Chains A and B, each alone.
Chain A
Amino acid sequence: DSGVTQTPKHLITATGQRVTLRCSPRSGDLSVYWYQQSLDQGLQFLIQYYNGEERAKGNILERFSAQQFPDLHSELNLSSLELGDSALYFCASSAYGKSGNTIYFGEGSWLTVV
């Protein structure tokens, strides 16, 4: 158990809908990362937050948004869902988001868009 908690574990929804994925980082970790992993694909970096502020942005679609709250948990919002958004979404956290801090991953949220 990495200490990073993600909910829900599985989600099935229809095209055009909106979903919210939630992540609680390890206790004390200030930095949160979101990654998308499609079937047989690598981990695509979406976005990183540090202590409530956005710090780095990857290939995140405009239909997707995220935020980190004062209690450090984070949410990833996916809207106008398309079939191609079906993937495993990982949240990860690290202590300070600085060099050398190990990144720990949650178990992921499986999203299926039908």
Chain B
Amino acid sequence: GQNIDQPTEMTATEGAIVQINCTYQTSGFNGLFWYQQHAGEAPTFLSYNVLDGLEEKGRFSSFLSRSKGYSYLLLKELQMKDSASYLCAVSSGGYQKVTFGIGTKLQVIP
């Protein structure tokens, strides 16, 4: 089976940096996604990591360590609109079965 763990809630201050961690256990791992989801809306794609290391995309960066089964999403220069749930998802298998973690609800405060 698959097991994906991430904190359920985090709070951070506007303008600050926050790191959301995700650990996973799976067989047939072939990549890790991060999605953002505002309440009642569809998840939107943020990043995809398949190799170890850091992928930077504007204010958002994502890191992967396959040997440790660990990833994090780094959000810089936080804005109020970044208040949302951040979903870690693992892709596995030849046809890319994608399993999501419970999501981390981030609250950005002034």
Contact = CB atoms under 8 A, between A and B. Distances in A.
Given A45-B98, A58-B99, 6 more contacts: A42-B102, A43-B103, A55-B97, A99-B30, A100-B50, A108-B41
Contacts, number: 65
A42 B100 contact: yes
B7 interface: no
Interface residues of B, number: 25
A101 B43 contact: no
Given A41-B102, A42-B102, A45-B99, A100 B43 contact: no
Contacts of A33: 98
Interface in A17-70: 31, 33, 35, 41-43, 45, 48, 50, 55-56, 58
Interface of B: 30-31, 33, 40-45, 48, 50, 87, 89, 91, 93-103
Contact-size category for A: 20 to 34
Interface in A80-114: 88, 90, 94, 97-108
Nearest to B39: A40
B40 A88 contact: yes
A48 B91 CA distance: 12
A2 interface: yes
A45 B97 contact: yes
Nearest to B43: A105
A48 B97 contact: yes
B95 A43 contact: no
A90 B98 CA distance: 13
A101 B42 contact: no
Contacts of A41: 102
B80 to A, nearest CB: 21
Contacts of A106: 42
